[in-house]
């Protein structure tokens, strides 16, 4: 297989999880690795979360968080602070680091140009329905805005917020947002950065990492192996692949990474590769 430097142009979407962004020195390292991919001639899109940053800001504002089935209920009061954390703090810092490394980063959310449409999420557990407030599910996604930025060598850094037809701001799960965008762009590689090495048979055993699964195997692993916070990440990979992405990788974003080597030969590194 040719090296990343000499291979054909690739489009890569990186989903940067909030739990992987809590160490500033590692965030600097990750963005340096992104800059190397850009210098090698590849188009990069970044979608980020920000759970720990949201929690800290809500605590400072003395706004309690209610979780229903693992989902943060988003009130009219809290959405203001969620946007401050995602757009103001996390997005702003990633853009700053990117530009300092010589990239032309543009910070945006699904609201800019209204390129992402959402509707209020309906959540059910058994026969009971629950109101999650201003939590949205994507119903439309126009990639022309992102493609325009990529064609002009910009790095889009995207916060997972969007506006509904009702005019309200909505908080969108960053994994779901990233998976749908990766699929819509039909990326060559969808990379999910989290705080573990990949999908494991046992979370207590780092050596039990599962190096490769296919979409057909996912349903059989749900509940026994795929559980907790890994469920939305695997679901986002499956969505991306079903929509046309070529492959997905789950990597540990709080360890030093060499993206070019991972993309060249991911089987030689601790990660989980997901394919059709």
Confidence (pLDDT) at 267: 86
Confidence (pLDDT) at 3: 38
Count of residues for the chain?
276
Q: Judge whether 224 lies within some domain.
A: yes
Confidence (pLDDT) at 133: 96
Q: Judge whether 246 lies within some domain.
A: yes
- Tens digits of per-residue pLDDT, 182-192? 999 999 999 99
Q: Judge whether 5 lies within some domain.
A: no
Q: What is the DSSP string of the chain?
A: ---TTTSPP-EEEEEE-GGGSS-HHHHHHHHHHHHHHHHTT-EEEEEE--HHHHHHHHHHTT----EETTEEPB-HHHHHHHHIIIIIIIIHHHHHHHHHTT-EEEEEETTGGG-EEEEEPPEEETTEEE--BSEEEEEEE-THHHHHHHHTTEEEEEESEEEETTS-EEEE-HHHHHHHHHHHHT-SEEEEEESSSS-BS-TT-GGGB--EEEHHHHHHHBTTTB-TTHHHHHHHHHHHHHHT-S-EEEEETTS---HHHHHH-GGGSS-EEEE-
Q: Judge whether 4 lies within some domain.
A: no
Confidence (pLDDT) at 72: 86
Q: Judge whether 6 lies within some domain.
A: no
- Tens digits of per-residue pLDDT, 1-30? 333 344 578 999 999 999 899 999 999 999
- Tens digits of per-residue pLDDT, 226-258? 998 999 999 999 999 999 999 999 999 999 999
Calculate Rg over the CA atoms of the chain. Answer: 18
Confidence (pLDDT) at 71: 80
Q: Total domain count for the chain?
A: 1
Confidence (pLDDT) at 10: 95
Instruction: Give percent of the chain above pLDDT 70.
Output: 97
Q: Judge whether 2 lies within some domain.
A: no
Structure tokens that stand for 252 in this block: 């540990």
Confidence (pLDDT) at 49: 92
Contact between 243 and 186 (Cβ < 8 Å):
yes
Lowest-confidence region among 134-138, 200-204, 271-275: 200-204
* Secondary structure of 137-203 in HEC code, one letter for each residue: EEEEECCHHHHHHHHCCEEEEEECEEEECCCCEEEECHHHHHHHHHHHHCCCEEEEEECCCCCECCC
- CATH, residue 265: 3.40.1160.10
Confidence (pLDDT) at 4: 39
In this structure, the dihedral spanned by the alpha carbons of residues 95, 96, 97 and 102, taken in order and rounded to 10 degrees, is 90
Residues 159 and 175: their CA atoms lie apart, in Å, by 11
- Tens digits of per-residue pLDDT, 30-69? 999 999 999 999 999 999 999 999 999 999 999 998 888 7
- Residue ranges making up the domain that contains 16: 11-275
Phi/psi of residue 139, nearest 5 degrees: -120, -20
- Tens digits of per-residue pLDDT, 120-136? 998 888 888 999 999 99
- Tens digits of per-residue pLDDT, 212-234? 999 999 999 999 999 989 999 99
Average pLDDT, the chain: 93
Confidence (pLDDT) at 7: 52
> What average pLDDT score do residues 131-158 get?
97
């Amino acid at each position: 297989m040719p090296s990343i430097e000499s291979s054909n142009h690739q489009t890569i979407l990186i989903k940067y999880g909030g739990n992987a962004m809590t160490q500033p020195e590692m965030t600097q390292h990750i963005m340096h690795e992104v800059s190397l991919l850009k210098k090698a001639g590849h188009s990069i899109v970044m979608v980020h979360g920000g759970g720990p940053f949201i929690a800290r800001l809500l605590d400072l504002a003395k706004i309690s968080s209610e979780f229903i089935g693992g989902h943060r209920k988003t009130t009219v009061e809290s959405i203001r602070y969620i946007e401050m954390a995602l757009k103001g703090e996390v997005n702003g810092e990633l853009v700053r680091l990117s530009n300092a490394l010589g990239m032309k980063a543009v910070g945006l959310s699904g609201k800019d140009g209204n390129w992402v449409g959402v509707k209020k999420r309906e959540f059910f557990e058994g026969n009971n329905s629950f109101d999650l407030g201003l939590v949205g599910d994507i119903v439309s996604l126009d990639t022309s805005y992102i493609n325009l930025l990529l064609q002009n060598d910009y790095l889009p850094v995207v916060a997972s917020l969007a506006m509904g037809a009702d005019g309200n701001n909505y908080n969108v799960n960053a994994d779901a947002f990233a998976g749908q965008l990766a699929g819509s762009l039909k990326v060559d590689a969808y990379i999910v950065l989290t705080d573990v090495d990949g999908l494991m048979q046992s979370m207590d055993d780092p050596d039990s990492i599962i190096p490769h699964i296919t979409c057909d195997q996912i349903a059989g692993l749900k509940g026994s192996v795929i559980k907790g916070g890994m469920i939305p990440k695997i679901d986002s990979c499956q969505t991306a692949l079903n929509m046309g992405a070529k492959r997905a990788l789950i990597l540990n974003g709080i360890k030093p990474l060499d993206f070019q080597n991972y993309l060249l030969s991911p089987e030689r590194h601790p990660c989980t590769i997901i394919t059709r």
